[in-house]
Structure 1
Amino acid sequence: MARRTIQRLAAVGGIVGMVVASGATAAHAAPDGLTVVATRHSLLGTHTWYQQTYRGVPVLGGYYATHTDTRTGTTSIQDGRFAIKGTPAGSAAFARNRAESAVTGRLAGSLVRSAAAVIVPGDTAKLGWLVLTDTRGGSVQTVVDAASGATLSEKSAVKEVNGSGQVFSPNPVVTLQNESLKDTTSAGTFTAAYKTVTLTQLTSGVTTLRGAYASNQSSSGVTSSTRTYTYTRAQAGFEQTMGYYSITSAQEYIQSLGFTDVNNSAQKYKTTGYTDDNSYYDPSTDQITFGTGGVDDAEDAEIIWHEYGHAIQDAQVPGFGSSSQSGAIGEGFGDYWAYTMSSAVSTNTTAVPLVCIGDWDAVSYTSTTPHCLRRIDGTKVYPGDFENEVHADGEMWSRALYDISTALGRTNANTVILEAQFNFTAGTTFAAAANATVSAAQSLYGSAAAASVKAAFQARGFI
């Protein structure tokens, strides 16, 4: 149905970036005013991160990174430097020891280490003191204006505590193997579908669903001083808990594959205020919004994982999905990501097949069974079945990824797929993205794996 478009809003704004010619090195590519912070090695590359400085003082949040492909020597760059507006003070009227004592006294804590001078970017850049305080609730990072002593910002620096919550895993249709469920089915029918889970990575010192990998932005966000979030689907807190758990578990799975920089941040999400039967990821705000029409979308983890798929790709390739073919790749990957995450917690049966995506959410707008938003085992082939509609055309891409998973196994397939996406462009074509995936398979697992990946894309007409 038209309203069920589970979409990704078009990216706005430019992308800062460049490519250095083959043979260039990170050291040669980096401009002045940078200090090396760390060098890391991924599956196929070397990544060097730099701290931006201004007159030798670190710029808060300013970074520069180089990513060198170990196969070709080509280096790409991410430039996160800030423009320094105005002229920050060269010396502090409010002394370092005054900033330290003021902050630690107010927080009733002790100094972790001596405060550091930083440049705070903004409409008018300022010189500040970065104070790290050890408190009963964990470390707190405070930035103090070095001119006036005013607090410019403050946040907890600890992000790894656990809580518990009640969720569907992935949804009641799958768990109960019951395609007759409806949004209006009596509450008691769902009792056996609920599961108590550990909520990991919660931010220490707060009582809301905020953590290292997910951040609840819903209005009237639920709170718990004991970090226990147990609700039923009749309560708004249930969808908020579903969002936190599903997003966090997806990121933890990604990291288990060896990737530490694939949307490795607190993904914002919202489960209230949008009454359409639809959901979307908006790259301009980096937020996922789930609709409450029909079955609330965030009651179905497969819908959550689909939207998180868009956030993954946007994090890997800023602005991804700017053409009809790359948009279709985005929708296809989102459906595949829902499938692969669900496959770890679901039973595949004829009545409720794993290849059917969103089978709980879809009961509100489909009449045939199994209820599916879309399937990933279709037979469409490019270009004959190309409709220039990203959701319909995405079914070709998701089928190719499904075949790759079948051929290589879940772990190897997802490692190849995620690695390949780093090399996509925002407006990539089917052919270019398919060839990049074949190349990643060759580099990671050899010729046999590459041949299987190539065969999957050839079967869909992409190469």
Structure 2
Amino acid sequence: MMKRLAAIGSIVGLVIVASGSAAHAAPDGLTLVATKHSLLGTHTWYQQTYNGVPVLGGYYATHTDRAGATAVADGRIAIKGIPARSAAVAQGRAESSVTGRLAGTLLRSRAVIVPGDTAKLGWLVLTDTARGTVESVVDAASGTTLSEKSTVKEVDGSGQVFSPNPVVTLQNESLKDTTAASTFTAAYKTVTLTQLTSGVTTLRGSYASNQSSSGVTSSTRAYTYTRAQAGFEQVMGYYSITSAQEYIQSLGFTDVNNSAQKYKTTGYTDDNSYYDPSTDQITFGTGGVDDAEDAEIIWHEYGHAIQDAQVPGFGSSSQSGAIGEGFGDYWAYTMSSAVSTNTTVTPLVCIGDWDAVSYTSTTPHCLRRIDGTKVYPGDFENEVHADGEMWSRALYDISTSLGRATANTIILEAQFNFTPSTTFAAAANATVTAAQTLYGSTAATAVTAAFHARGFI
């Protein structure tokens, strides 16, 4: 059944006005939304309408100061064409299609005019989902989704972490998992937990989502724990993942794993961690030193999530698998370099020097180093972690030559052009091309030299 626009407009034309003022329609297709009073004047906001239906993004405002002078902010949008006056797709049908697809619950919906080259009549549907409210706009003529976005606002909290780990902070290679708790006091750091989802009390935000059993909650968003408490590793995961994504965003990338990365720090008792692309989740083991107590381990695993987000199914061959492990080690290095000092006790090229105390006897304790001298193909072992040391060394040399920001911009950009089963040579050449395109021949020469030294090109 077709629902007439007149009936729609009579419903959606109702607005709530701030401070209990009566709603009224202003001339020229404007409806009063709110009147606000500041220290210096009065501010009145209107919603643009077309035939009584709100126009998405259209507004008009007046700002009147104490002397009576008025400034106007005119955000009205030209309506091109003639939007349909009736909906071929009923409101209920639009609602059910959106809520079913998002596996959520309907909050409310209304008719809207969608501006564009040809304006359209649409349904704006707000859905409550597991990740907050989603705003969808459905074409009232065809039922297709015209736009969709999260309306969730982000808030900050606080937490206690190691940054990046106690071995580095205390410059103490003798630390063990069983070392007295008081020894670690000076290693803790209070940090701001950014991007937390408003309205929830868990460690869930724009870039990280805690999936641990008995996930910690805080009504004040203060998450302060010690390593003896399960909440500590959960905070470490949230903070380390979020800081990594924020750094990526600072380089200008808005679509490199730009989502809430799921992670879990409980339930897996092995001294190991892994990223599972089938569930898009990182799981941190609790054997030996809990892996999530070492931010360098977190950043390594996040490296796998980054590449999988850029190239679905990445790492399906021995060489691409090695590239994945090498990038993960390099990513741990580059993130750690921003919060650590390079010393002879804990050199930056030593990755995972806290986690590694449980399974290494020599110092410095390292999961792996990224300054090795292996060269392809003579040192190729067909084992991704060992072979990844060649790739991480090349990336390390690029960073040393070009600087952290330039190198990482090149490296991340190049990875968009990798294939799931890429070879060392193909990936190296893609990185050279990215360097040339972004920064010119000097950068490309430095990248070429780094890969040539490892035998890749």
2:332 equivalent in structure 1: 338
Equivalent of 1:445 in 410, 429, 439:
439
Is residue 156–residue 205 contact of structure 1 (8 Å, CA) maintained in 2? no
1:66 equivalent in structure 2: none
Is residue 135–residue 151 contact of structure 2 (8 Å, CA) maintained in 1? no
1:290 equivalent in structure 2: 284
- Aligned-partner Cα distance in 1 for 2:132–2:188: 35
1:124 equivalent in structure 2: none
Q: For 1:130-209, what aligned pairs fall within 5 Å after superposition?
A: 131-132=125-126, 140-141=133-134, 157-209=151-203
Q: TM-score, normalised by structure 2?
A: 0.71
The answer to whether the aligner puts 1:254 opposite 2:254 as a matched pair is: no
1:281 equivalent in structure 2: 275
SS in 1 for 2:192: strand
Classify 1:281/1:133 alpha carbon distance in 2 versus 1 (closer, same or farther; 3 Å): closer
Alpha-carbon deviation of 1:140? Answer: 3.5
1:403 equivalent in structure 2: 397
Alpha-carbon deviation of 1:328? Answer: 0.1
Return the letter of the residue paired with 1:163.
G
Return the letter of the residue paired with 1:424.
F
2:429 equivalent in structure 1: 435
Q: For 1:208-357, what aligned pairs fall within 5 Å after superposition?
A: 208-357=202-351
- Aligned-partner Cα distance in 2 for 1:451–1:406: 14
Is residue 168–residue 340 contact of structure 2 (8 Å, CA) maintained in 1? yes
Classify 1:116/1:293 alpha carbon distance in 2 versus 1 (closer, same or farther; 3 Å): farther
- Aligned-partner Cα distance in 2 for 1:398–1:412: 16
- Aligned-partner Cα distance in 1 for 2:239–2:323: 26
Alpha-carbon deviation of 1:351? Answer: 1.1
Contiguous gaps of at least 5 residues in structure 1: 1-89, 98-106, 118-127, 147-154
Contiguous gaps of at least 5 residues in structure 2: 1-87, 96-104, 115-121, 141-148
- Aligned-partner Cα distance in 1 for 2:437–2:355: 39
Alpha-carbon deviation of 1:159? Answer: 4.0
SS in 2 for 1:179: coil
- Aligned-partner Cα distance in 1 for 2:408–2:94: 49
Is residue 141–residue 157 contact of structure 1 (8 Å, CA) maintained in 2? yes
1:361 equivalent in structure 2: 355
SS in 2 for 1:205: coil
Return the letter of the residue paired with 2:225.
Y
1:64 equivalent in structure 2: none
SS in 2 for 1:202: strand
Alpha-carbon deviation of 1:370? Answer: 0.2
- Aligned-partner Cα distance in 2 for 1:413–1:455: 14
- Aligned-partner Cα distance in 1 for 2:113–2:192: 37
Classify 1:92/1:457 alpha carbon distance in 2 versus 1 (closer, same or farther; 3 Å): same
Classify 1:410/1:357 alpha carbon distance in 2 versus 1 (closer, same or farther; 3 Å): same
Classify 1:350/1:139 alpha carbon distance in 2 versus 1 (closer, same or farther; 3 Å): closer
How many residue pairs match? The answer is 345
Percent sequence identity is: 87
Alpha-carbon deviation of 1:91? Answer: 4.9
- Aligned-partner Cα distance in 2 for 1:132–1:361: 45
- Aligned-partner Cα distance in 2 for 1:214–1:316: 17
- Aligned-partner Cα distance in 1 for 2:132–2:262: 23
- Aligned-partner Cα distance in 1 for 2:298–2:416: 22
SS in 2 for 1:195: strand
Alpha-carbon deviation of 1:160? Answer: 1.3
- Aligned-partner Cα distance in 2 for 1:294–1:324: 29
1:417 equivalent in structure 2: 411
- Aligned-partner Cα distance in 1 for 2:399–2:286: 32
Return the letter of the residue paired with 1:421.
Q
Classify 1:94/1:383 alpha carbon distance in 2 versus 1 (closer, same or farther; 3 Å): closer
SS in 2 for 1:393: helix
Is residue 109–residue 123 contact of structure 2 (8 Å, CA) maintained in 1? no
Classify 1:112/1:166 alpha carbon distance in 2 versus 1 (closer, same or farther; 3 Å): farther
Is residue 96–residue 115 contact of structure 1 (8 Å, CA) maintained in 2? no
SS in 2 for 1:223: coil
- Aligned-partner Cα distance in 1 for 2:90–2:109: 21
Is residue 209–residue 215 contact of structure 1 (8 Å, CA) maintained in 2? yes
- Aligned-partner Cα distance in 1 for 2:304–2:344: 29
Is residue 159–residue 211 contact of structure 1 (8 Å, CA) maintained in 2? no
SS in 1 for 2:172: coil
Q: For 1:40-79, what aligned pairs fall within 5 Å after superposition?
A: none
Write out per-residue CA displacement over residues 247-280 of structure 1, whole angstroms, 9 at most, x where no aligned residue. Answer: 0000000000000000000000000000000000
SS in 2 for 1:311: helix
1:394 equivalent in structure 2: 388
Alpha-carbon deviation of 1:142? Answer: 8.0
1:454 equivalent in structure 2: 448
Is residue 355–residue 375 contact of structure 1 (8 Å, CA) maintained in 2? yes
Write out per-residue CA displacement over residues 129-188 of structure 1, whole angstroms, 9 at most, x where no aligned residue. Answer: 763389xxx984489xx9xxxxxxxx9831411000000000000000000000000000
Return the letter of the residue paired with 1:245.
Y
Q: TM-score, normalised by structure 1?
A: 0.70
Is residue 340–residue 348 contact of structure 2 (8 Å, CA) maintained in 1? yes
SS in 2 for 1:384: coil
SS in 2 for 1:170: coil
Alpha-carbon deviation of 1:113? Answer: 5.9
Query: What is the aligned-residue RMSD (CA, Å)?
Result: 3.0
